[in-house]
Amino acid sequence: MRRRGFTRALDFRHGQVEMTHGSGGRATAQLVEELFVAQFDNEALRRLDDQAQVEVPPGRLVVATDSHVVSPLFFPGGDIGCLSVHGTINDVSMAGARPLYLAAGFILEEGLPLADLRRIVESMAAAAREAGVPIVTGDTKVVERGKGDGVFITTTGVGVVPAGVNVSGTRARPGDAVLVNGTMGDHGVAIMSLRENLEFGTTIRSDTAALHGLVAAMLKAVPDIHCLRDPTRGGLATTLNELAHQSGVGVIIGEARIPVRGEVNSACEFLGLDPLYVANEGKLIAICAPADAQRLLDAMQAHPLGREAAIIGEVIEDEHAFVQMDTAFGGRRVVDWLTGDQLPRIC
Amino acid sequence: MKYIDEFRDGSVARRIGAAIAREALPGRRYSFMEFCGGHTHAIARYGVADLLPGNVRMIHGPGCPVCVLPIGRIDMAIEIARRPEVILATYGDTMRVPASGRLSLLKAKAQGADIRMVYSTADAVRLAERNPAREVVMFAIGFETTTPPTALAIREAQAKGLTNFFVFCNHVLTPSAISHILESPEVRELGTVPIDGFVGPAHVSTVIGSRPYEFFAEEYQKPVVIAGFEPLDVMQAILMLVRQVNDGRCEVENEFTRAVTREGNAKAQALVAEVFGLRRTFEWRGLGEVPYSALRLKEGYAAFDAERRYGVADRSVPDHKACECGAILRGLRHPADCKLFGSACTPENPLGSCMVSSEGACAAHYTYGRFRDTSRRVAAGAAVT
C-alpha cells in the first residue's frame, strides 16, 4: 500500500474526532489507514476497496446484523468494541453457522477523544482476532457534537451452516430439554453498576464473549440441536417466550435450576429487577431432544464458556405458548415477556 | 442472599401452608385483603396462592401508589412537564400510566417534554443544583413510605437556598383508604364483599407504626396482621389471621417485628408533620373522592409547591367505561372478570391503572398468574393473548 503522506500522524493522545474525519476526504482516509486498517489488518481490508471480496465455503449462507449503542462505552468486563464483535458473531452462531467475516459501520460523535476511539477499535480487533473472524470492510460517519453519544457501532456478520445442521426457533417440541450455558444477568448488572445515580461497587463483570466455539463443540456432540438463541435484551424470560411462540409450545422451567450469581441476585434485589429479564452477552439457550440432553450438557460443561451449564426445564404442549416457572418457594407462575424497558442502552 | 433467602425458603413455606390447611375450618371461607401492592406482587411472583387451601382467598387491595393515581393528576403532571423551563423528575413506575388523550409521561417525553426518571427525591434535588437555569419539579407520589424522603428533599433544597426546586405533591394516606373501603356499602352490607381481615402494610408501618390500625380492629371488628413483603411473611400473616378469625379475636398483630414498632418512626413522622398538611379531600383512582386522605405542602413551604407555582387546576377525568379497576381495587371483582383484561388492556397498553405497575392487581395477575384462567376465558369466548 502506498503511503499518502499525511503531514502529521493522528494525535491519539490529545486529538478528538472532528467533522472532517467523516467528510470522505484526506482526514477520513488518514483515520481509516492509521486506525482501522492498522488495527483490523487483513488482506481484504488492505485493498481499500469500497467493499470486501471474500471466499465462501459451500453451505447455507447466514447473514446477521446488530447495532450497538451501549452506555457507558466502557464497562467491567468489556466495552462497546468487543461487544459489537461478540454480539454479531453470536447472532450468526445461533443458526449453528460458522461465522466467517464481519463488516463494521461507525457513527462517531464530534469531540469523541481519539484515545477512546483507539481503545474501542483495539478491543474490536483483539476480539475479532481471538474469534478468528476478520473485519473485512467498514464505514465511518461523523455527526455533530450532541447528535450522537460518543460512538454507535453496527456490525454485520456472514457465516455458513454446515450440511446436516438445522437449528431454528420453530423446532422446539414437547418433551425437549431446555439448557443454558451459565449464569444469567451478569452483563446487565455490570452495566447498571456504572449508571448515573446508581453507581454501586460490584465485582460482577460483563459476560461478553463469542460463542461460536462453544456452539461448534455442542453441534459436534449433538448435531440435531433443535433451537439455539442468545438471551440478550429482555433476558432469559423474554427469549424463552420468543422460542415458545415461534414453536407454538409451552416451556416449564425450575427457578432453583437456573444459575444466577449471588452478587447478581443481590444487585437485582435492591434495584427491583428480576435476573430472568436482565441482559446477557455471552450466554445461550439450547433446546434439544430429551435423549440428547445429557450428552449436550456434558459437551457444554467441558467447554470454558459452558462450565456452569445446566438443564433448566422442558418444553411442554401448550396452545397458549406460556412460559411457566416452578418457584423455589413452591408455587407456579407465568414468566412473561419483558414489559417496558428495564435497562435502556444495554448493548 | 443472607437475610433474604431465609424469608423465601420453600420448605418453611410448605410447613406454614400445611398449618393453614390444618387450622382453616373446612366449613368456613376466609377472605383476607392484602392492602399493599408489595404483598400483591409477592403473592403473585412466588405463587403463594398455590400453597393456600381452597377456602382461603386473598383480595388485592388498593395499596399500589401508581394504581390509585387518578388520570387528572397525570394530566396535571404532563401540563407542568410541557412548560419549556421545567424538568419533571419522576419515579419510573409513573411513566406509562395512561393519561387523557392517549397520552402518558412516556409519550409526552417523546413529544419533547423534559421528563427524567429518578430513583430518589435526592436525585431530583441534585438535578436542580446542576440545572440552575431550569425549574426541576419532583412528581411526588406514594404512601407514608415515600413521604418522608419528599419532606427531606424540600428541607434540603431550602437549606441549600435552591429556588428552582418544586414538588408536585400527590402523597396519600393508608389509614383513610382502609376506612373508606370498610365504610363502602359493599363491605358494610353483609355478604357482598366479605373481608375477614387485613394483611397490614409493611413499609408504611415502619413509618406510622402499628398503632393507627388499632382503630380498625376495634371499630370495624376486623383482625389486622402487619406483615413484611417477603413471601414467608405473607404466609405467616395469613396463618395468624386464620387463628384470629377462629378464636373470634380482632386484634392488631405484628408479624413484621424486625422492622415495625407500635409507635413507628417518630423522627420521620415529625418531619412529615412539619412540611405537610392534610388536604380536605383527594381523588383516588378506583375509590373516588376520599376525605382527608392526602397531603399538601404547608403554607411555610408554599414556595416549593408546584401546584401554586404553575397554577395548574385540579381536574377529574373519568376512567374508561368498561374498566373495572375501581371494583377490583375494592375487592368486588377479580382481574379476569374485566372484559378488557388481557385483550384491550395489557401491560404494554394499559387502559386501567391496575395494569400499569407490577404491584397492580391486574398486572400481577397478567404477568404471573394468567395461565390459571385461560380455560375459563376460552370457554367464555374471550380473546386470549
- CA dist., res. A306 & res. A293, Å (int): 14
For residues A126 and A183, membership in a common domain is answered with no
* pLDDT score, position B331: 75
Put simply, the answer to whether A331 touches B118 (Cβ < 8 Å) is no
**CB nearest to A320's CB, from B10, B369, B384:** B384
pLDDT at residue B187 above 70? no
A4-8, A9-13, A252-256, B313-317: least confident range? A4-8
3-state secondary structure of B292: coil
- Kindly determine whether residue A333 and residue B48, on different chains, have CB atoms separated by under 8 Å: no
Asked whether residue A35 falls in the same domain as residue A122, the answer is yes
Whether A52 is covered by a domain: the verdict is yes
pLDDT tens, B282-308?
Answer: 999 878 899 999 999 999 999 999 999
**Helix or strand holding residue B43 (H, E):** helix B37-46
CATH number of the domain bearing residue A124:
3.30.1330.10
Please state, rounded to an integer, the average pLDDT across all residues of chain A. Answer: 93
Beta partners for residue A286, in sequence order: A179, A228
Q: What share of chain A is helix, strand, coil (3-state, %, to 5)?
A: 35, 20, 45
Residues A150 and A287 in one domain: no
Residues of chain A positioned with their CB less than 8 A from the CB of B4: 266, 269
ipTM of the complex as predicted: 0.78
Q: Which of A265, A266, A332 sits opposite B47 (nearest CB)?
A: A332
Take residue A259 and report the three cell numbers written for it. 444459575
B116 to chain A, any CB pair closer than 8 A? The answer is no
Q: Which of B46, B119, B370 sits opposite A198 (nearest CB)?
A: B119
B150, B125 in Cβ contact below 8 A? no
Quick one: fold of B5-63+175-254?
A: Rossmann fold (3.40.50)
The identity of residue A163, as a single letter, is: A
Residue A134 · residue A210 · CB < 8 Å:
no
pLDDT band at A323 (very low <50, low <70, confident <90, very high): very high
Q: Are residues A262 and A127 in the same domain?
A: no
pLDDT at B82: 97
Any domain includes A46: yes
Domain count, chain A: 2
Which three three-digit cell numbers place residue B244? 384470629
Residues A287-317: tens digit of each pLDDT: 999 999 999 999 999 999 999 999 999 999 9
Quick check: is A84 in a domain?
A: yes
A215 with A144, same domain: the answer is no
**Distance set, CA A205 to CA A78, A182, A189, A266, A341 (Å):** 8, 14, 8, 15, 22
Mean pLDDT confidence for A233-248? 97
Is there a contact between B118 and A197 if contact means CB atoms under 8 Å apart? yes
**Three cell numbers at B96?**
406509562
Pair A103, A197 in one domain:
no
Instruction: Measure the CA–CA gap between A179 and A174, rounded to whole angstroms.
Output: 15
Q: Do A198 and B17 touch (CB under 8 A)?
A: no
pLDDT digits (tens, 9 = 90+) for A160-178: 999 999 999 999 999 999 9
Q: What per-residue confidence (pLDDT) applies to B192?
A: 61
**Which of left, alpha, beta for A63 (phi over 0: left; psi -120 to 50: alpha)?**
beta
Domain positions in chain B are 5-63+175-254, 71-171+265-310, 325-369
* A197 band by pLDDT with thresholds 50, 70 and 90: low
Provide the 8-state DSSP code for A33.
Answer: I
Q: Is residue A5 part of a domain?
A: no
Residue A224, domain member (yes or no) = yes
CB contact under 8 A, A333 and B370: no
Position A249, amino acid: V
Kindly state whether residue A342 falls inside one of the protein's structural domains. no
Same domain, A227 and A115: no
Whether A206 and A77 have beta carbons less than 8 Å apart is answered as yes
Instruction: Give the range among A3-12, A240-249, B75-84 with minimum mean pLDDT.
Output: A3-12
Helix (H) or strand (E) holding A131: helix A114-131
SS3 B194: coil
Question: A58 is in which domain, residue-wise?
Answer: 19-161
Residues A75 and A196 in one domain: no
Count the Cβ atoms, other than its own, within 10 Å of residue B161. Answer: 6
Instruction: Judge if A125 and A241 occupy the same domain.
Output: no
The grid coordinates of residue B190 equal 353483609
Position A344 in a domain: no
The answer to whether B126 touches B104, Cβ cutoff 8 Å, is: no
Q: A25 and A146: one domain?
A: yes
Judged by CB atoms closer than 8 Å, whether chains meet at B371 and A324 is answered as yes
- CATH classification code of B71-171+265-310: 3.40.50.11740
Q: Is the dihedral of CA A83, A88, A93, A99 positive or negative?
A: negative
pLDDT at B20 over 70: yes
